[in-house]
Amino acid sequence: MAGKSSIMWFRKGLRLHDNPALLDACKDAAHVYPVVGVNRYSFLLESLRDLDASLRARGSRLLVLRGTPEQVLPRVAAEWGATRLCLEADTEPYARARDAAVRQSLEAAGVEVAASISHTLYDTEMLVARNGGRPPLTMQARPRGAGGQGPAGSFTKLVDKVGDPPPPAPDPPAALPPPAEGMPSADPAVTGVPTLAEVGFTEEPTTPFKGGETEALARLEASFADPKWVAGFQKPETDPSAFDRPATTVLSPYLKFGCLSPRLFHSRLLAVYRAQKKHSEPPVSLRGQLLWREFFYTVGAHTPNFNRMAGNPVCRQIDWDANEEFLAAWREARTGFPWIDAIMTQLREWGWMHHLARHSVACFLTRGDLYVSWERGMEVFEELLIDQDHYLNAANWMWLSASAFFSQYFRVYSPISFGKKYDPEGRFIRRFLPVLKDMPAKYIYEPWTAPLEVQRKAGCLVGKDYPRPIVDHAVASKACIARMAAAYRAGSAAATAATGEGADGAAGPSGSSPAPKAKGRGGKAKEAVASAAGKAAKAVAGAAGAAGKKAAGTAAGSKRQRTLKESLGLQGGKEAAS
């Protein structure tokens, strides 16, 4: 009797390969109902269409349910006589709350809920337990002596200790138990995969990347066609300006939606590493990239308020500016720095940029130039990236803003030199900012330095066709470093002040207190931050003044205020970016 009908609820994990939850749903079931809720991305909708096609090839189909999960799932379970709901576990805060509600309403109705872990390589709970109850906060910390079996360590060390992740699950049967005939809620007319228009979008997507498991596997094969490249991959050496053929795999959106299983990817990598004599190692290797994902999922899933500064125990508290003008210029690709604006345009058009390109724009927005909070940048990425992934997005923004994981805030990316190093001709800029397509290479990273007649000849007048830079990088980056130093000092002072209070361990997983105290920065944190803010202001003025004297030729003044005013006069240049 039990197990006659199951519901397979697809959320992430939009694939048939390595799908333990789907296998679970098929076990002893005469009827399996593969269902999903509606979301808003075209990449997602393509993934759903592909999943539906794959299910149809096996005698089934996808049923897209409209409604709130905790309401609609019990209703169809009753209608279909389903006794089990099978799903892939999801540790994101939103998913946890949703799944708790669904579990409650289904179990009240006598429907069993069975979760499988297949979105990450490992069960992150297990990893944390094996690390002594706390997630590691470093990816790699080379042990100095012979690698002992110490209690806590870096993430790579932890993974070495735990061993290889489980292999991918076997493929599902060639014929899947189909939904029963004649069920009203399984009517194709009401459960078809929606179109973009139906979800409320009027514009056509501009991303060149197509969603779906089929595409994901094809892309995986394309990368693995060159085993030497796979074995020799070193992330920091890949070219962020490559766009005809991106320098990395672009598998991130497929991993995000689960069109590609990380375990399948990982097992393929191990096979190549076994076959090739030499291969690169984490953290820079291709396998290292999967471990970064795993690392951030592990820390993120076990840290309260991970995607915020306040109340986030791993995040440094920094006095970011709420500068709407700067934020808007950055978001709308009109900072006046072609390298930055081209990347932000690629983000809007493609929904994807190279990892190091993300570094450039994230550093620029936060600790490098504009001193705007990483949370604002994270929100923009969240809206525009096709590979937007809750934990990875938050973690990388904290990294780049030197708020967590990384603290060498004086290592600032130059919005001019960094791109030039890879692409001296400015091909990337010409592709994404056509207004600059005829600017000579000599000036393309700094068009404001081009003589007026050169600008005229290139058909691009700076200040009219393309914005002037909103900051003087030499001035702004020095000021930012000074403010970061002050914020760090304030943090350490607050931490010292807070140690007197003792009580709860800093990174305790149950640190549910909403008070903004990071790394044990306790009650007196506010005072310390406030007093340091005064020092910071002085430091900014001092550093900016000194740098301003050095930067003789430029018109940008010694005060941030002045550059802000200049930026206000640049609105006319907006269309230049489009």
Partner DNA sequence: ACTAGGTTGCCGGC
Partner DNA sequence: GCCGGCAACCTAGT
Listing DSSP states for 515-532 in one string gives: S---TT--TTHHHHHHHH
500 binds DNA (CB under 7 A): no
407 binds DNA (CB under 7 A): yes
Q: Which stretch binds DNA (CB under 7 A): 77-85, 382-390, 412-420, 436-444?
A: 412-420
Task: Answer yes or no: are the C-beta atoms of 485 and 543 closer than 8 Å.
Answer: no
7 binds DNA (CB under 7 A): no
H runs (alpha helix) in 401-514: 417-422, 427-432, 452-458, 473-499
406 binds DNA (CB under 7 A): yes
Residue 248 assigned as binding residue: yes
Query: What is the nearest approach in angstroms of DNA to the Cβ of residue 213?
Result: 25
Query: Measuring CA to CA, which residue among 10, 6, 15 is closest to residue 64?
Result: 10
Residue 276 assigned as binding residue: no
408 binds DNA (CB under 7 A): yes
Side by side, the strands of the sheet bearing 5-9 are 63-65, 31-37, 5-9, 84-88, 112-116
Among 13, 69, 74, 136, which residue sits at the site for DNA (rule: CB under 7 A)? Answer: 136
Residue 317 assigned as binding residue: no
| Identity of the residue, 110 or 150, whose beta carbon is nearer to DNA in the bound complex | 150
533 binds DNA (CB under 7 A): no
Q: Which stretch binds DNA (CB under 7 A): 94-102, 204-212, 223-231, 355-363?
A: 355-363
Residue 113's beta-bridge partner residues?
85
Applying the rule CB under 7 A, the residues between 437 and 496 that interact with DNA are: 478, 481-482, 485, 488-489, 491-492
Among 59, 150, 440, 523, which residue sits at the site for DNA (rule: CB under 7 A)? Answer: 150
Query: Measuring CA to CA, which residue among 479, 484, 145, 139 is closest to residue 297?
Result: 139
Q: For residue 247, count other CB atoms closer than 10 A to its CB.
A: 18
Query: What is the nearest approach in angstroms of DNA to the Cβ of residue 545?
Result: 13
534 binds DNA (CB under 7 A): no
Reported residue count of the chain is 578
Residue 116's beta-bridge partner residues?
88
| Identity of the residue, 27 or 559, whose beta carbon is nearer to DNA in the bound complex | 559
Torsion of CA 167, 169, 170, 172, to 10 degrees: -160
| Identity of the residue, 235 or 266, whose beta carbon is nearer to DNA in the bound complex | 235
State the amino acid at position 334 in one-letter form: R
Q: Which stretch binds DNA (CB under 7 A): 10-18, 344-352, 415-423, 457-465?
A: 415-423
| Identity of the residue, 34 or 336, whose beta carbon is nearer to DNA in the bound complex | 336
Tokens standing for 42?
């075209």
418 binds DNA (CB under 7 A): yes
| Identity of the residue, 17 or 354, whose beta carbon is nearer to DNA in the bound complex | 354
CB-count burial class (<10 Å; 0-12, 13-18, 19+) for 72: middle
Residue 66's beta-bridge partner residues?
none
412 binds DNA (CB under 7 A): yes
537 binds DNA (CB under 7 A): no
| Identity of the residue, 178 or 288, whose beta carbon is nearer to DNA in the bound complex | 288
Task: Answer yes or no: are the C-beta atoms of 286 and 272 closer than 8 Å.
Answer: no
284 binds DNA (CB under 7 A): yes
Tokens standing for 260?
């590609």
Query: What is the nearest approach in angstroms of DNA to the Cβ of residue 563?
Result: 18
Rounded CA separation 491/522 (Å): 10
Query: What is the nearest approach in angstroms of DNA to the Cβ of residue 507?
Result: 8
| Identity of the residue, 16 or 487, whose beta carbon is nearer to DNA in the bound complex | 487
137 binds DNA (CB under 7 A): yes
Residue 252 assigned as binding residue: yes
x-marked contacts with DNA along 235-274 as a string, rule CB under 7 A: xx--------------------------------------
**220, containing H or E segment:** helix 213-224
Among 145, 163, 184, 553, which residue sits at the site for DNA (rule: CB under 7 A)? Answer: 145
DSSP 372: B
Query: What is the nearest approach in angstroms of DNA to the Cβ of residue 177?
Result: 42
Sign of CA dihedral 326, 327, 333, 339: positive
SS3 breakdown of the chain: % helix, strand, coil, rounded to 5? 50, 5, 45
| Identity of the residue, 16 or 494, whose beta carbon is nearer to DNA in the bound complex | 494
139 binds DNA (CB under 7 A): yes
Query: What is the nearest approach in angstroms of DNA to the Cβ of residue 281?
Result: 10
CB-count burial class (<10 Å; 0-12, 13-18, 19+) for 1: exposed
| Identity of the residue, 80 or 371, whose beta carbon is nearer to DNA in the bound complex | 371
198 to 38, 63, 201, 202, 218: CA distances (angstroms): 10, 16, 7, 9, 29
**How many positions of this chain bind DNA (CB under 7 A)?**
50
Rounded CA separation 252/392 (Å): 11
519 binds DNA (CB under 7 A): yes
Residue 250 assigned as binding residue: yes
Q: Which stretch binds DNA (CB under 7 A): 208-216, 251-259, 378-386, 411-419?
A: 411-419
Residue 16's beta-bridge partner residues?
none
Residue 292 assigned as binding residue: yes
328 binds DNA (CB under 7 A): no
142 binds DNA (CB under 7 A): yes
Task: Answer yes or no: are the C-beta atoms of 409 and 488 closer than 8 Å.
Answer: yes
Burial 466-491 (b: 16+ CB within 10 A, else e): bbbbbbbbbbbbbbbbbbbbbbbbbb
| Identity of the residue, 201 or 406, whose beta carbon is nearer to DNA in the bound complex | 406
x-marked contacts with DNA along 196-235 as a string, rule CB under 7 A: ---------------------------------------x
Inter-helix orientation angle 324-331/374-384, to 10°: 30
Applying the rule CB under 7 A, the residues between 28 and 67 that interact with DNA are: none
Biggest CA pair distance of the chain: 84
391 binds DNA (CB under 7 A): no
Rounded CA separation 460/329 (Å): 19
Phi and psi torsions of 184, nearest 5°: -55, -45
421 binds DNA (CB under 7 A): yes
499 binds DNA (CB under 7 A): no
Write out the residues near DNA by the rule CB under 7 A. Answer: 136-145, 148, 150-154, 157, 235-236, 283-284, 288-289, 292, 355-356, 359, 399, 406-408, 410-414, 416-418, 421, 478, 481-482, 485, 488-489, 491-492, 519, 543
